[in-house]
Structures are given as structure tokens and as C-alpha cells.
Amino acid sequence: MPEAEPTALSASYLASRDEVERVLLLYSGGLDTSVMCKWIQDEYGAEVVALTVNLGQPGEDYDVVRQKALDLGAVAAEVVDAREEFARDFIVPAIKANAVYGLGYPLFTALGRPLIAKIAVEQARIHGCDTIAHGCTGKGNDQVRIEGTVATLAPELKVIAPVREWQMGREEEIAYAREHGIPIKGGAEQTPYSIDDNLWGRSSEGRWIEELDRAPEQDVFQLVTPPALAPDEPEMVEVEFEKGVPVALNGERMGLVDLLEKAAQIGARHGVGIIDHIEDRIVGLKVRDIYEVPAAAIILPAHAELERLTGTIHQNRFKEGLDRQWAYLVYAGLWWEPLRVNLDAFMDSANETATGTIGVECFKGVARVVTRSSPYAVYDASLATFETSGGLFSQNASPGFIELWSLQSRMAYRLRESLEEGQDG
């Protein structure tokens, strides 16, 4: 058998310099991707088409971002508003699966990356690009999610990840930016936090966050009010669900994007959804993230409560395990894995009865479920009450149940006792 050609590239989907002619650049408008926009033109002699995907990043001015890319020499600059698709096809399945990773990360970045990369593939094809470029480092999960998506959906496209290869530090990047007339926003003195945000939440990494023994500095919170400064009056939010999908807030029906934004506003006002999280990345590192997830902090507990009420004990216990599997697959960058699709079919089925309204009280950093109602609630107040016995539930039947329910445990316990006594004697 002939030996395989030795290659400098560590994966087949990576582009070598000579095959790159037109690059679709995932462009945020920040320092890294702005430097990349120029760097790719200079180093590869390639054309750049910039793409910015709107997933509901609060306060972003997409016209400014677009113009910045054109000013940096991009031959075209696209902005795609994918908020509806993100909400419907990514956040809703996450809600149905009660998706959190670790001790409370609701996966907003992990959900956004496969969609961003899918749109990058579509735009690369429209613009005749041969390569997709992104600004991820070699240390994070996002490179896995983006490159995994591109390699899955578009085997004909190649990938470059300049930040992983150029080995410029922040100082050098700033020098490069100055030299090439790239505007630096927010000043060059202070290293900024590394931010990622969308409709479902916001993360900050870097700076003091890397020192685990340091409590959060207030300037990191750009979305959620510090709980101590939140209003002194609690606010009630009633979330109505139909088959697991949130459809109304406080009795007012609205589209998903509006609903998520509105929930985020209420939560943010009351200091709800701050998560200081140590995380096991899939690339081996443990990292600390500061999350602000005001919408998820209201909607996820509401949904979980509704399922508790409408599912049987067996459905509820089983689903917990599958929820965790779903969250792990998505966290781990395997959105396109068929198992996720299988699990979604289960989630949809399990959510057939997740219809009803849950009231969540928001107050100084806490979102707490306080009211529930559902036509599918497997609940009968007349059975649950201490007052009476009869009907479907006979208290007289309980002792017989207890005798049989504990039978094996009692036998095993006594067996061990008697064997241990034998040894002692």
C-alpha cells in the first residue's frame, strides 16, 4: 500500500495558503476579526466577504459593523438577521430539553455557533467563497462548534482560523491595527473582557475572571442590574406555554423574539440570572465564565416546573437523563449529530402536554416559581389534601404498600446484620 502523503495540515478541512482565493469571514466588528479582515487580504492575497449574523446581540449597530468591514477592504459585507430562526429552531428545543450544562450554563453560545456556521456556509456558496474564516482561538469550544458544522454541512469548503495560527498577542494586534488604520473601540489601554452574547444570554471571560479567588467586579455586568441595586418591589411574570413553547408573557401573546427580549428586560431589571461558572470545556481546560442570562433564568425554571406538573413520575425521572444528554451533545459541538435529532423527537413528544401558565416572582436576584396551572396537571387537590381519605386514594391501602415496597430492602438489611453478628461471635 502506498504511504499517505505527509501533510503539514492537521485536518483535511483546513486550507493551505495556495488554495485560498475568496474567504467568507465571520465578522463581529471587534479587534480580532477586524485585524483578520486585513490580514487575510495581505497574507493570503485573497478576497474577503464579511458576514455578521444578528442573533439578538443587545445594542449592536449592524450598519456600523457592515461599513467597518467595507472600509477594511471587504469586497462585500452581509448582515443576516437570524433571530427568528435562532429562537424557533435552537432556543425552543433547548427550552423543551431544559438545557443547562454544568451547574447552570444555558448554552446560548453553544446554540448560536452551529447556526452562525450554517449561515456562513450558505453565504460562502452564494458569494463563491472557497474558505470560511473565524476568529476563535485554539483553546475554546467555539472552534469545535464552527469547524464541526462547516465540515459536516459543506465538505467542499475549507477553513482557516487565523487567531489560532498568527501568534500575535494583544499588543501586536493593536500595533497591527494602528499600522493598517483599523479603528480600535473602547481604548487600547485596558484588555477588554471576551464577550459573546445573543438573545439567550451573555458571557464574559478573561481579565480577573481567570483568578478563581476573586469575586466579580461590577463592571463586568452590562446586562443584569446588580441584585443589591434592583427594585425593592418584587415583580411577577406569568409565562404561558403551549406544548413546551413560550407563547405569552403576563397574558399578552407575542412572537418568540419579542417574548425572549421582554423576559430578558424584566429579569435584568431585577438582577436575575447572574451565574459565576466553572466549566469543563470539551478541549480539556477548566475555565471560569461570568454569565448573564436574565431570560433563561425566568423561562427555564418555569418550563421545568410545568413539566414536573404534567409529566408522570416515570416520565419526569426518565427525561432528566435525556435532558442532560441533549445539553452535553449541544455543548460539545455536535448539533448535527443524529442522536440530537432523535432526542428532539422525544422532547417534542414529552412536551405534548407542557401547556399551561407558570408564575415566576423576580426579586433582587432571585427568580422563584410561585404559581402553576395546567389543564394537563397530573394533580388532584382533593387527593393531595391531608383532610380526607377515599375515592382513588385510600389511606388504608398505604401500610400494605409499605410492606411490599420495603420488602427486599428489609430482607437485605437483616441478612447483613445477621452475617456481621456471626463474624463478630
CA-CA distance, 5 to 321, in Å (whole number)?
45
Is residue 79 packed enough to be buried (19+ CB in 10 Å), middle (13-18) or exposed (0-12)?
A: middle
- Which one, 201 or 311, has the nearer CB to ligand ARG? 201
Q: DSSP string of 17-55? A: GGG-SEEEEE--SSHHHHHHHHHHHHHH--EEEEEEEES
Q: Choose the catalytic residue: 194, 207, 281, 372.
A: 194
Which among 75, 88, 84, 151 is positioned nearest to 120, based on CA atoms?
151
Q: Is residue 34 a contact partner of residue 186, using CB atoms and an 8 Å limit?
A: no
Is 113 known to be catalytic?
yes
- Cβ–Cβ under 8 Å, residues 126 and 161: no
Q: Between 131 and 141, name the residue whose CB sits nearer to ligand ARG.
A: 141
CA angle 167, 171, 172 (to 5 degrees): 50
Asked if 194 is an active-site residue, the reply is yes
Q: In the complex, which residues of this chain contact ligand ARG (CB under 6 A)?
A: 109-110, 140-142, 194, 196, 203, 205, 279, 289
Cell 477548566: give the residue.
Answer: 286
Catalytic residue from among 34, 66, 83, 142: 142
Name the pairing type of β-strands 235-242 and 356-363.
antiparallel
Of 196 and 305, the one with the shorter C-beta distance to ligand ARG is 196
| Biggest distance spanned by C-alpha atoms of the chain | 90
Give the cell for residue 325. Answer: 444528554
* Least distance between ligand ARG and beta carbon 205 (Å): 5
Q: Which of 208/376 has CB closer to ligand ARG? A: 208
- Collapsing DSSP to helix, strand or coil, 281 comes out as coil
Smallest distance from ligand ARG to CB 142, Å: 5
- Asked if 32 is an active-site residue, the reply is yes
Question: Smallest distance from the beta carbon of 340 to ligand ARG, in angstroms?
Answer: 16
Nearer to ligand ARG, 78 or 279 (CB): 279
Closer residue to ligand ARG, CB minimum distance, 35 or 237: 35
For the bound state, the minimum distance from the C-beta of residue 95 to ligand ARG, rounded and expressed in Å, comes to 17
Q: Measured from the CB of residue 204, what is the shortest distance to ligand ARG in angstroms?
A: 8
| Residue placing its CB nearer to ligand ARG in the complex, 205 or 261 | 205
Residue 251's region, left for phi above 0, alpha for psi from -120 to 50, else beta, is left
SS3 category, 368: strand
What is the rounded distance in angstroms from the CA atom of residue 130 to the CA atom of residue 239?
Answer: 45
Smallest separation (angstroms) from ligand ARG to the CB of 275: 11
**Closest approach of ligand ARG to the CB of residue 137, in Å:** 8
**Beta pairing, strands 194-198 & 286-292:** unpaired
Among the listed residues 34, 66, 83, 113, the single catalytic one is: 113
Give catalytic residues, as residue numbers: 32, 113, 142, 194
